[in-house]
Structure 1
Amino acid sequence: MNDQAQHLPSKEQILTFPRFPNFPLDKIIVINQLKQCQTIETELKTAALLGFDTESKPTFNKGEVQTGPHLIQLATAEKAYLFQVSPDILNFLKPIFENPDQIKVGFGLKNDAHLFRKKGIELNSVIELSKCFGSFGLNNPVGIKNAIALLFQMNFPKSKSVSTSNWARKSLTIPQIEYAAADAYAPVLIFEELLRLGLIPHDIPNTSLKLRIRPNKS
Protein backbone atom coordinates (compact mmCIF):
# COMPACT_ATOMS: atom_id res chain seq x y z
CA MET A 1 0.00 0.00 0.00
CA ASN A 2 1.40 3.41 -0.87
CA ASP A 3 1.81 6.18 1.66
CA GLN A 4 -0.97 8.33 0.24
CA ALA A 5 -4.07 8.38 2.39
CA GLN A 6 -7.05 6.58 0.95
CA HIS A 7 -10.39 8.37 1.00
CA LEU A 8 -13.39 6.51 2.30
CA PRO A 9 -16.28 6.40 -0.16
CA SER A 10 -19.00 8.94 0.60
CA LYS A 11 -22.42 7.87 1.84
CA GLU A 12 -23.80 8.78 -1.58
CA GLN A 13 -21.19 6.63 -3.33
CA ILE A 14 -21.84 3.68 -1.05
CA LEU A 15 -25.53 3.74 -1.97
CA THR A 16 -24.57 3.14 -5.61
CA PHE A 17 -22.49 0.05 -4.76
CA PRO A 18 -23.90 -3.48 -5.10
CA ARG A 19 -25.39 -4.89 -1.92
CA PHE A 20 -23.19 -7.04 0.31
CA PRO A 21 -23.93 -10.74 -0.44
CA ASN A 22 -24.94 -12.14 2.93
CA PHE A 23 -25.37 -15.84 3.68
CA PRO A 24 -28.68 -17.37 2.57
CA LEU A 25 -30.88 -18.49 5.45
CA ASP A 26 -29.92 -22.15 5.00
CA LYS A 27 -26.32 -21.20 5.88
CA ILE A 28 -27.36 -19.45 9.11
CA ILE A 29 -27.85 -21.69 12.14
CA VAL A 30 -29.79 -20.38 15.15
CA ILE A 31 -28.80 -22.25 18.30
CA ASN A 32 -30.69 -22.16 21.59
CA GLN A 33 -30.11 -25.65 23.02
CA LEU A 34 -26.98 -27.47 24.13
CA LYS A 35 -27.78 -30.49 21.95
CA GLN A 36 -27.53 -28.23 18.89
CA CYS A 37 -24.07 -27.14 20.03
CA GLN A 38 -22.92 -30.74 20.08
CA THR A 39 -23.77 -31.22 16.39
CA ILE A 40 -21.53 -28.30 15.35
CA GLU A 41 -18.80 -28.73 17.97
CA THR A 42 -16.15 -30.18 15.66
CA GLU A 43 -16.57 -27.63 12.87
CA LEU A 44 -16.50 -24.70 15.29
CA LYS A 45 -13.62 -25.84 17.47
CA THR A 46 -11.42 -26.64 14.46
CA ALA A 47 -11.98 -23.31 12.68
CA ALA A 48 -8.75 -21.29 12.54
CA LEU A 49 -10.64 -18.02 11.91
CA LEU A 50 -14.02 -16.91 13.22
CA GLY A 51 -15.94 -13.71 12.65
CA PHE A 52 -17.38 -12.51 15.96
CA ASP A 53 -20.06 -10.13 17.15
CA THR A 54 -22.73 -9.89 19.84
CA GLU A 55 -26.14 -8.30 20.22
CA SER A 56 -27.87 -7.19 23.40
CA LYS A 57 -31.36 -6.03 24.22
CA PRO A 58 -31.11 -2.22 24.32
CA THR A 59 -31.39 -0.36 27.61
CA PHE A 60 -33.45 2.82 27.30
CA ASN A 61 -34.11 3.77 30.93
CA LYS A 62 -31.68 5.60 33.20
CA GLY A 63 -30.02 3.23 35.64
CA GLU A 64 -31.13 0.14 33.72
CA VAL A 65 -28.44 -2.56 33.92
CA GLN A 66 -27.24 -4.22 30.71
CA THR A 67 -27.71 -7.99 31.06
CA GLY A 68 -26.32 -8.95 27.66
CA PRO A 69 -24.99 -10.26 25.49
CA HIS A 70 -28.24 -11.98 24.55
CA LEU A 71 -27.02 -13.20 21.15
CA ILE A 72 -23.49 -14.28 20.21
CA GLN A 73 -22.62 -14.56 16.53
CA LEU A 74 -19.75 -16.58 15.10
CA ALA A 75 -19.05 -17.16 11.42
CA THR A 76 -16.68 -19.02 9.15
CA ALA A 77 -16.40 -18.42 5.42
CA GLU A 78 -19.15 -21.03 4.93
CA LYS A 79 -21.73 -20.56 7.73
CA ALA A 80 -22.95 -18.27 10.48
CA TYR A 81 -23.88 -19.51 13.95
CA LEU A 82 -26.24 -17.44 16.11
CA PHE A 83 -26.22 -18.49 19.76
CA GLN A 84 -29.11 -17.38 21.97
CA VAL A 85 -27.29 -17.04 25.26
CA SER A 86 -27.88 -19.35 28.22
CA PRO A 87 -25.46 -20.65 30.89
CA ASP A 88 -25.05 -23.96 29.03
CA ILE A 89 -24.30 -22.23 25.74
CA LEU A 90 -21.79 -19.89 27.40
CA ASN A 91 -20.02 -22.91 28.88
CA PHE A 92 -19.87 -24.47 25.41
CA LEU A 93 -18.44 -21.30 23.86
CA LYS A 94 -15.96 -20.50 26.65
CA PRO A 95 -13.09 -22.73 25.35
CA ILE A 96 -13.50 -21.27 21.85
CA PHE A 97 -13.24 -17.69 23.07
CA GLU A 98 -10.31 -18.51 25.36
CA ASN A 99 -8.42 -20.60 22.77
CA PRO A 100 -5.26 -18.69 21.71
CA ASP A 101 -5.00 -20.75 18.51
CA GLN A 102 -8.36 -19.61 17.12
CA ILE A 103 -8.42 -16.05 15.80
CA LYS A 104 -11.66 -14.16 16.39
CA VAL A 105 -12.17 -10.98 14.34
CA GLY A 106 -14.76 -8.23 14.51
CA PHE A 107 -15.60 -4.58 15.05
CA GLY A 108 -16.32 -2.70 18.28
CA LEU A 109 -15.23 -5.59 20.48
CA LYS A 110 -13.92 -3.69 23.49
CA ASN A 111 -17.35 -3.53 25.12
CA ASP A 112 -17.88 -7.20 24.26
CA ALA A 113 -14.73 -8.05 26.19
CA HIS A 114 -16.16 -6.24 29.22
CA LEU A 115 -19.48 -8.08 28.98
CA PHE A 116 -17.77 -11.46 28.57
CA ARG A 117 -15.51 -10.81 31.54
CA LYS A 118 -18.62 -10.28 33.66
CA LYS A 119 -19.69 -13.76 32.51
CA GLY A 120 -16.34 -15.28 33.52
CA ILE A 121 -14.89 -15.52 30.01
CA GLU A 122 -11.53 -13.99 29.04
CA LEU A 123 -11.38 -13.30 25.31
CA ASN A 124 -8.16 -14.53 23.73
CA SER A 125 -6.76 -13.97 20.22
CA VAL A 126 -9.42 -11.37 19.39
CA ILE A 127 -8.59 -8.81 16.70
CA GLU A 128 -10.30 -5.41 16.59
CA LEU A 129 -10.49 -4.82 12.84
CA SER A 130 -11.46 -1.15 13.10
CA LYS A 131 -7.84 -0.38 14.01
CA CYS A 132 -6.30 -2.30 11.09
CA PHE A 133 -6.59 0.42 8.44
CA GLY A 134 -3.52 2.50 9.26
CA SER A 135 -1.85 1.32 6.04
CA PHE A 136 -4.59 3.18 4.15
CA GLY A 137 -3.56 6.41 5.85
CA LEU A 138 -6.72 6.26 7.98
CA ASN A 139 -5.83 7.03 11.58
CA ASN A 140 -9.35 6.92 12.98
CA PRO A 141 -11.16 3.61 13.55
CA VAL A 142 -13.01 2.33 10.47
CA GLY A 143 -16.45 0.77 10.93
CA ILE A 144 -17.71 -2.36 9.23
CA LYS A 145 -19.80 -0.46 6.65
CA ASN A 146 -16.88 1.70 5.53
CA ALA A 147 -14.49 -1.27 5.57
CA ILE A 148 -16.71 -3.23 3.17
CA ALA A 149 -17.09 -0.17 0.94
CA LEU A 150 -13.34 0.51 0.91
CA LEU A 151 -12.15 -3.05 0.30
CA PHE A 152 -14.92 -4.45 -1.89
CA GLN A 153 -16.90 -1.44 -3.21
CA MET A 154 -20.07 -2.93 -1.73
CA ASN A 155 -22.92 -1.48 0.30
CA PHE A 156 -23.25 -3.09 3.73
CA PRO A 157 -26.70 -1.95 4.93
CA LYS A 158 -27.16 -1.28 8.65
CA SER A 159 -30.76 -0.97 9.88
CA LYS A 160 -31.15 1.06 13.06
CA SER A 161 -34.59 -0.42 13.68
CA VAL A 162 -33.09 -3.92 13.63
CA SER A 163 -29.96 -3.03 15.60
CA THR A 164 -32.07 -1.56 18.42
CA SER A 165 -34.65 -4.36 18.43
CA ASN A 166 -35.20 -6.86 21.23
CA TRP A 167 -32.34 -9.35 20.93
CA ALA A 168 -33.50 -11.22 24.02
CA ARG A 169 -36.73 -12.40 22.39
CA LYS A 170 -37.23 -16.15 22.21
CA SER A 171 -37.87 -16.27 18.45
CA LEU A 172 -35.69 -13.99 16.35
CA THR A 173 -37.23 -12.35 13.30
CA ILE A 174 -35.84 -12.97 9.80
CA PRO A 175 -34.41 -9.41 9.64
CA GLN A 176 -32.68 -9.99 13.00
CA ILE A 177 -31.23 -13.30 11.80
CA GLU A 178 -29.92 -11.77 8.56
CA TYR A 179 -28.52 -8.70 10.33
CA ALA A 180 -26.76 -10.75 13.01
CA ALA A 181 -25.25 -13.19 10.52
CA ALA A 182 -23.88 -10.41 8.31
CA ASP A 183 -22.19 -8.73 11.27
CA ALA A 184 -20.18 -11.90 11.95
CA TYR A 185 -19.61 -12.96 8.33
CA ALA A 186 -18.29 -9.65 6.97
CA PRO A 187 -15.32 -9.52 9.40
CA VAL A 188 -14.10 -12.88 8.03
CA LEU A 189 -14.00 -11.48 4.49
CA ILE A 190 -12.41 -8.22 5.66
CA PHE A 191 -9.66 -9.99 7.61
CA GLU A 192 -8.91 -12.36 4.72
CA GLU A 193 -8.69 -9.44 2.28
CA LEU A 194 -6.39 -7.43 4.57
CA LEU A 195 -4.24 -10.54 4.96
CA ARG A 196 -4.15 -11.04 1.17
CA LEU A 197 -3.05 -7.43 0.71
CA GLY A 198 -0.34 -7.82 3.36
CA LEU A 199 -1.96 -5.15 5.53
CA ILE A 200 -2.50 -7.02 8.79
CA PRO A 201 -0.11 -5.53 11.40
CA HIS A 202 2.84 -7.87 11.89
CA ASP A 203 2.32 -8.33 15.62
CA ILE A 204 -1.26 -9.58 15.32
CA PRO A 205 -0.67 -13.33 14.74
CA ASN A 206 1.61 -13.44 17.80
CA THR A 207 -0.44 -11.30 20.16
CA SER A 208 -3.07 -12.94 22.32
CA LEU A 209 -5.20 -9.88 23.12
CA LYS A 210 -5.70 -7.06 20.64
CA LEU A 211 -8.22 -4.83 22.40
CA ARG A 212 -5.92 -2.59 24.44
CA ILE A 213 -7.77 -3.40 27.62
CA ARG A 214 -6.13 -4.22 30.92
CA PRO A 215 -5.88 -7.94 31.72
CA ASN A 216 -7.86 -9.28 34.62
CA LYS A 217 -5.64 -9.17 37.72
CA SER A 218 -7.80 -11.43 39.86
Structure 2
Amino acid sequence: MTTQRRLPIPREDVLKLEPFEGLRLEHIRLPVSADDLAAAGAVLLGSPFLGFDTEVKPTFKAGEAMRGPDTVQFSTGTHAFVFQMHETGSEALVRQVLAAPHVVKVGFDLRSDQKQLMHRLGVHAQPLLDLDFVFHARGYPKSIGVKAAIALLFNRRLLKSKRVTTSNWANHTLESRQILYAANDAYAAWAVLDALGLPSGELPIWANGLSMGLADG
Protein backbone atom coordinates (compact mmCIF):
# COMPACT_ATOMS: atom_id res chain seq x y z
CA MET A 1 0.00 0.00 0.00
CA THR A 2 1.37 3.39 -1.00
CA THR A 3 1.83 5.87 1.84
CA GLN A 4 0.01 9.15 1.27
CA ARG A 5 2.48 11.98 0.78
CA ARG A 6 2.18 14.75 3.35
CA LEU A 7 3.81 18.14 3.70
CA PRO A 8 4.95 19.92 6.86
CA ILE A 9 3.51 23.30 7.79
CA PRO A 10 4.97 25.94 5.44
CA ARG A 11 7.87 27.87 6.94
CA GLU A 12 6.09 31.21 6.62
CA ASP A 13 3.19 29.82 8.66
CA VAL A 14 5.51 28.33 11.28
CA LEU A 15 7.01 31.77 11.83
CA LYS A 16 3.57 33.05 12.86
CA LEU A 17 3.12 30.44 15.60
CA GLU A 18 3.57 31.08 19.30
CA PRO A 19 6.91 29.88 20.72
CA PHE A 20 7.20 26.33 21.99
CA GLU A 21 7.58 26.30 25.76
CA GLY A 22 10.64 24.24 26.51
CA LEU A 23 12.55 23.64 29.71
CA ARG A 24 13.66 26.59 31.80
CA LEU A 25 17.13 27.00 33.24
CA GLU A 26 16.05 25.74 36.66
CA HIS A 27 15.24 22.38 35.06
CA ILE A 28 18.57 22.05 33.27
CA ARG A 29 21.66 20.52 34.86
CA LEU A 30 25.33 20.80 33.88
CA PRO A 31 26.83 18.04 36.04
CA VAL A 32 30.52 18.35 36.89
CA SER A 33 31.10 17.22 40.49
CA ALA A 34 31.17 13.53 41.37
CA ASP A 35 27.90 13.86 43.30
CA ASP A 36 26.14 15.68 40.47
CA LEU A 37 27.37 13.14 37.92
CA ALA A 38 26.17 10.26 40.09
CA ALA A 39 22.74 11.88 40.45
CA ALA A 40 22.54 12.51 36.71
CA GLY A 41 23.58 8.95 35.95
CA ALA A 42 20.86 7.55 38.19
CA VAL A 43 18.20 9.54 36.31
CA LEU A 44 19.52 8.94 32.81
CA LEU A 45 20.31 5.25 33.17
CA GLY A 46 16.90 4.72 34.74
CA SER A 47 15.02 6.19 31.78
CA PRO A 48 13.78 3.95 28.94
CA PHE A 49 13.79 6.85 26.43
CA LEU A 50 15.90 10.01 26.40
CA GLY A 51 15.81 13.00 24.10
CA PHE A 52 19.31 13.29 22.66
CA ASP A 53 21.41 15.76 20.69
CA THR A 54 24.93 17.14 20.38
CA GLU A 55 26.53 20.48 19.63
CA VAL A 56 29.94 21.17 18.12
CA LYS A 57 32.05 24.26 17.64
CA PRO A 58 31.56 25.25 13.99
CA THR A 59 34.48 25.07 11.58
CA PHE A 60 35.00 27.81 9.04
CA LYS A 61 38.25 26.65 7.41
CA ALA A 62 38.37 24.14 4.57
CA GLY A 63 40.05 20.93 5.63
CA GLU A 64 39.83 21.69 9.35
CA ALA A 65 39.93 18.44 11.32
CA MET A 66 36.76 16.99 12.82
CA ARG A 67 36.75 17.45 16.58
CA GLY A 68 33.59 15.65 17.54
CA PRO A 69 30.86 17.06 19.78
CA ASP A 70 31.67 19.69 22.40
CA THR A 71 28.43 19.08 24.26
CA VAL A 72 26.17 16.05 24.53
CA GLN A 73 22.73 16.56 25.99
CA PHE A 74 19.99 14.22 27.17
CA SER A 75 16.48 15.01 28.35
CA THR A 76 13.66 13.35 30.23
CA GLY A 77 10.18 14.85 30.32
CA THR A 78 11.11 17.12 33.22
CA HIS A 79 14.87 17.75 33.19
CA ALA A 80 17.73 18.04 30.73
CA PHE A 81 21.40 17.33 31.34
CA VAL A 82 24.06 19.13 29.29
CA PHE A 83 27.54 17.61 29.39
CA GLN A 84 30.64 19.50 28.27
CA MET A 85 33.20 17.16 26.78
CA HIS A 86 36.21 18.98 28.19
CA GLU A 87 35.14 17.61 31.59
CA THR A 88 36.77 14.20 32.10
CA GLY A 89 34.03 12.93 34.39
CA SER A 90 31.40 13.99 31.90
CA GLU A 91 33.00 11.94 29.13
CA ALA A 92 32.87 8.77 31.20
CA LEU A 93 29.18 9.11 32.06
CA VAL A 94 28.20 10.15 28.55
CA ARG A 95 29.90 7.06 27.13
CA GLN A 96 27.97 4.92 29.60
CA VAL A 97 24.61 6.47 28.70
CA LEU A 98 25.29 6.36 24.95
CA ALA A 99 26.11 2.66 25.10
CA ALA A 100 23.42 1.63 27.61
CA PRO A 101 21.37 -1.07 25.81
CA HIS A 102 18.23 -0.43 27.88
CA VAL A 103 18.11 3.34 27.20
CA VAL A 104 16.84 4.41 23.76
CA LYS A 105 18.34 7.68 22.58
CA VAL A 106 15.75 9.70 20.63
CA GLY A 107 16.33 12.57 18.22
CA PHE A 108 16.35 13.79 14.62
CA ASP A 109 18.96 13.17 11.90
CA LEU A 110 21.01 11.11 14.33
CA ARG A 111 23.17 9.54 11.63
CA SER A 112 25.17 12.77 11.45
CA ASP A 113 26.09 12.49 15.14
CA GLN A 114 27.45 8.95 15.06
CA LYS A 115 30.74 9.63 13.26
CA GLN A 116 31.54 12.54 15.57
CA LEU A 117 30.74 10.51 18.67
CA MET A 118 33.04 7.71 17.56
CA HIS A 119 35.79 10.19 16.75
CA ARG A 120 35.73 11.93 20.13
CA LEU A 121 34.34 9.36 22.54
CA GLY A 122 35.06 6.05 20.86
CA VAL A 123 31.42 4.89 21.00
CA HIS A 124 28.29 4.99 18.89
CA ALA A 125 24.96 5.88 20.46
CA GLN A 126 22.83 2.76 20.71
CA PRO A 127 20.00 1.90 20.64
CA LEU A 128 18.65 4.83 18.64
CA LEU A 129 15.26 6.11 17.53
CA ASP A 130 15.52 8.66 14.72
CA LEU A 131 12.17 10.44 14.57
CA ASP A 132 12.77 11.49 10.97
CA PHE A 133 12.05 7.85 10.11
CA VAL A 134 8.79 7.87 12.08
CA PHE A 135 7.48 10.88 10.15
CA HIS A 136 8.80 9.58 6.82
CA ALA A 137 6.84 6.36 7.31
CA ARG A 138 3.73 8.54 7.58
CA GLY A 139 4.38 10.28 4.27
CA TYR A 140 6.41 13.31 5.31
CA PRO A 141 9.74 14.30 3.68
CA LYS A 142 12.64 12.07 4.68
CA SER A 143 14.28 14.69 6.90
CA ILE A 144 11.43 16.63 8.47
CA GLY A 145 13.48 17.92 11.42
CA VAL A 146 12.55 18.90 14.93
CA LYS A 147 11.19 22.37 14.11
CA ALA A 148 8.65 21.04 11.62
CA ALA A 149 7.69 18.21 13.98
CA ILE A 150 7.05 20.61 16.86
CA ALA A 151 4.91 22.77 14.58
CA LEU A 152 2.85 19.78 13.44
CA LEU A 153 2.26 18.24 16.86
CA PHE A 154 2.08 21.30 19.12
CA ASN A 155 1.17 24.11 16.71
CA ARG A 156 4.13 25.96 18.18
CA ARG A 157 7.43 27.33 16.87
CA LEU A 158 10.68 25.92 18.24
CA LEU A 159 13.12 28.80 18.62
CA LYS A 160 16.50 27.93 17.10
CA SER A 161 18.68 30.99 16.67
CA LYS A 162 21.35 30.66 13.98
CA ARG A 163 23.54 32.93 16.08
CA VAL A 164 23.44 30.41 18.91
CA THR A 165 23.77 27.44 16.56
CA THR A 166 27.06 28.83 15.24
CA SER A 167 28.37 30.02 18.61
CA ASN A 168 31.47 28.58 20.28
CA TRP A 169 30.33 25.37 21.93
CA ALA A 170 33.88 24.70 23.10
CA ASN A 171 33.72 27.61 25.56
CA HIS A 172 34.82 26.56 29.03
CA THR A 173 31.67 28.21 30.42
CA LEU A 174 28.54 28.13 28.30
CA GLU A 175 26.24 31.13 28.12
CA SER A 176 22.67 30.81 29.34
CA ARG A 177 21.37 31.03 25.78
CA GLN A 178 23.61 28.12 24.76
CA ILE A 179 22.46 26.02 27.71
CA LEU A 180 18.79 26.64 26.88
CA TYR A 181 19.36 25.91 23.19
CA ALA A 182 21.23 22.65 23.79
CA ALA A 183 18.87 21.38 26.47
CA ASN A 184 15.72 22.14 24.51
CA ASP A 185 17.02 20.47 21.35
CA ALA A 186 17.07 17.26 23.38
CA TYR A 187 13.83 18.03 25.23
CA ALA A 188 11.97 18.78 21.99
CA ALA A 189 12.83 15.30 20.70
CA TRP A 190 11.49 13.75 23.91
CA ALA A 191 8.33 15.88 23.67
CA VAL A 192 7.71 14.82 20.07
CA LEU A 193 8.03 11.14 20.94
CA ASP A 194 5.68 11.59 23.89
CA ALA A 195 3.11 13.45 21.77
CA LEU A 196 3.15 10.76 19.08
CA GLY A 197 2.01 8.25 21.69
CA LEU A 198 3.12 5.24 19.66
CA PRO A 199 3.47 1.76 21.19
CA SER A 200 7.09 0.67 21.56
CA GLY A 201 6.51 -2.12 19.06
CA GLU A 202 5.75 0.42 16.31
CA LEU A 203 8.93 2.41 16.82
CA PRO A 204 11.80 1.85 14.34
CA ILE A 205 14.48 1.45 17.00
CA TRP A 206 17.97 0.59 15.77
CA ALA A 207 19.42 -1.73 18.36
CA ASN A 208 23.02 -1.23 17.21
CA GLY A 209 22.67 2.50 16.54
CA LEU A 210 23.02 2.18 12.77
CA SER A 211 20.45 2.45 10.00
CA MET A 212 20.04 1.29 6.43
CA GLY A 213 19.19 4.86 5.45
CA LEU A 214 16.02 6.44 4.19
CA ALA A 215 14.72 5.69 0.76
CA ASP A 216 14.74 8.55 -1.67
CA GLY A 217 11.50 10.44 -2.05
Q: Same fold (TM over 0.5)?
A: yes
2:40–2:81 Cα contact (<8 Å) kept: no
> Which string of whole-angstrom CA distances, capped at 9 and with x for unpartnered residues, describes residues 60-110 of structure 1?
112211213111110000101000113332212222111121111011211
Aligned residues: 210
Counterpart-to-counterpart distance in 2, 1:139 and 1:173: 34
**Cα separation, partners in 2 of 1:135 and 1:111, compared to 1, 3 Å:** closer
**Cα separation, partners in 2 of 1:10 and 1:139, compared to 1, 3 Å:** closer
Gaps of 5+ in 1: none
Counterpart-to-counterpart distance in 2, 1:179 and 1:34: 25
Counterpart-to-counterpart distance in 1, 2:44 and 2:113: 20
Question: Which among 155, 158, 162 is matched to residue 156 of structure 1?
Answer: 158
Aligned position for 1:208: 207
Aligned position for 1:169: 171
Aligned position for 1:83: 83
Gaps of 5+ in 2: none
Question: Which among 102, 107, 120 is matched to residue 122 of structure 2?
Answer: 120
Q: Secondary structure at the match of 1:185?
A: helix
Q: Which runs of 4+ in 1 moved over 4 A?
A: none
**Cα separation, partners in 2 of 1:213 and 1:57, compared to 1, 3 Å:** farther
Counterpart-to-counterpart distance in 2, 1:10 and 1:111: 25
Aligned position for 2:49: 49
Counterpart-to-counterpart distance in 1, 2:208 and 2:149: 22
Aligned position for 2:64: 64
Q: Secondary structure at the match of 2:72?
A: strand
Aligned position for 2:187: 185
Q: Secondary structure at the match of 2:82?
A: strand
**Cα separation, partners in 2 of 1:134 and 1:93, compared to 1, 3 Å:** same
Q: Secondary structure at the match of 2:15?
A: helix
Aligned position for 1:138: 140
Taking structure 1 as the reference length, what is the TM-score of the superposition? 0.87
The letter of the residue matching 1:69 is: P
Compute the RMSD of aligned alpha carbons: 2.2
The answer to which of 88-97 and 22-31 deviates more is: 88-97
Q: Do residues 19 (structure 1) and 19 (structure 2) align?
A: yes
**Cα separation, partners in 2 of 1:203 and 1:10, compared to 1, 3 Å:** closer
Q: Secondary structure at the match of 1:136?
A: coil
1:109–1:211 Cα contact (<8 Å) kept: no
Counterpart-to-counterpart distance in 1, 2:158 and 2:201: 24
1:23–1:79 Cα contact (<8 Å) kept: yes
Counterpart-to-counterpart distance in 2, 1:137 and 1:72: 30
